[in-house]
Structure 1
Amino acid sequence: MYPPKSNAYESQYPTPTPPPSYGQPTTTGFPVSSATNNTSSYYSSDNSQQYGSALQIESKPRVPWSTGLCDCASDWKLCCITCWCPCITFGRIAEIVDKGSSSCGVNGALYTLIACVTACACCYSCFYRSKMRQQYLLHERPCCDCLVHCCCEPCALCQEYRELESRGFDMIIGWHGNVEQRNRGVIMAPSVDSGMSR
């Protein structure tokens, strides 16, 4: 019916290409997967650098405890106080670990309340052991913090108390007392008399 199109007509009026469908990949003559792989490899290398730096921050070297879990004989006074009244030992530890944001009395009273109501104050004190280990990068030894406190609460408290003492804290005066003591320990410049002297 219609005469076939000549080559001159096709060169003058080329056949329009259909618009690309966004749901399906288009055939362009270029390998799409290679571009995708290059992009993904670019982002993956960037992500690996970010994750690598995060892993370096998290993988700081851990240090051992200054004393063992069962080295209570070195300080028998602390051992007796912790066995008869663990709320005092825990309150002092918690005040130092919290850096003075909570007082020894409040922490000790809360420990006693939890012990009286649930008879399981170790569930509360184990969180402070974990917090202390994160602050000073201590090993999780001899087992997980919750198990250490559940199985041997007095020994765990004594170990934490001794650890803070070995790091230079005077546990009796609390956090604010230690801060004041360290501020007074700073060497001041000698004072000079303002009056004239011959």
Structure 2
Amino acid sequence: MNKQQPNHEPAMGIPVVEPSAPSYAPHNQSNAHVGSFSTGLCDCFSDASLCCMTCWCPCITFGRIAEIVDRGSSSCGVSGALYALIFGLTGCQCVYSCAYRSKMKAQFNMPENNCEDCCIHFWCEFCALCQEYRELQHRGYDLALGWHGNLEKQNQGTMMHPPMPSGMTR
């Protein structure tokens, strides 16, 4: 539950509220997923469209994951293009994507095992990307919307509009 406490009132008498959580988290995020992935590494075919997208164009899957994990500081297009460039030039895109797996696990308080994560991305790159994508979906993100789209989706209807003056109008 996200409780907010007014910390002071400025001259206008409107309380200033500082959020208790420093970053966006969808409303339906639960603590049930803390500790491990909500789906297995080899559950790729539970979402056939994701599996196909990742198989034919992993840069899109990775770009979407990176945008959410980076909390909007990098775009899907830039991250995906960098992934494709690293893949094309070196074939070692797994090192780049593994770093995001570790970052995501740290954000969600999941146990980190860098050696295991690197091996997973080296030997099962597409399965790892699918698992990370599904994990973010299970935590309430719509990866196709991107970070800012998820923020807008969460904030729909919660925006407060200033009161309109009553009385005669022209």
TM beyond 0.5 = yes
Q: Shift of the alpha carbon at 1:139?
A: 3.2
Q: Which protein is richer in helix relative to its size?
A: 1
Against the structure 1 CA distance between its residues 80 and 103, is the aligned structure 2 distance closer, same or farther, given a 3 Å change threshold? same
Q: CA RMSD in A?
A: 2.1
SS for the counterpart of 1:113 is helix
Structure number with greater CO (CA < 8 Å, separation at least 6) is: 2
In the alignment, structure 1 residue 148 sits paired with structure 2 residue 134: no
Runs of 5+ in structure 2 lacking a partner? 1-33
Matched residue, 2:81: 109
Give distance in 2, aligned partners of 1:162 and 1:67: 7
Letter in 2 for 1:111: Y
Deviation at residue 138 of structure 1 after TM alignment = 1.6
The structure that has the greater radius of gyration is: 1
Aligned equivalents of 1:125, 1:96: Cα separation in 2:
13
The CA deviation string for residues 16-47 of structure 1, in whole angstroms up to 9 with x for no partner, is xxxxxxxxxxxxxxxxxxxxxxxxxxxxxxxx
Q: How does 1:18-167 map to 2 (within 5 A)?
A: 63-140=35-112, 144-167=116-139
Whether the 8 Å contact between 2:106 and 2:112 is mirrored in structure 1 is no
SS at match of 1:169: coil
Corresponding residue for residue 146 of structure 2:
174
TM-score, normalised to structure 1, is: 0.62
**Cα deviations by residue, 1:103-141 (Å, 9 ceiling, x for unpaired):** 000000000000000011101100000000000012347
Instruction: Flag the 1:116–1:167 CA change in 2: closer, same or farther, 3 A.
Output: same
The residue type equivalent to 2:109 in the other structure is L
Structure 1 or 2: larger strand share? Answer: 2
The alignment-based identity, stated in percent, is: 65
Q: Secondary structure at the match of 2:79?
A: helix
> What runs of 5+ residues in structure 1 fail to find an aligned partner?
1-61
**What's the counterpart of residue 42 of structure 1?**
none
Which stretches of structure 1, 4 residues or more, deviate above 4 A after TM superposition?
Answer: none
Please, what TM-score do these two structures have when normalized by structure 2? 0.72
Instruction: Give the length in aligned residue pairs.
Output: 134
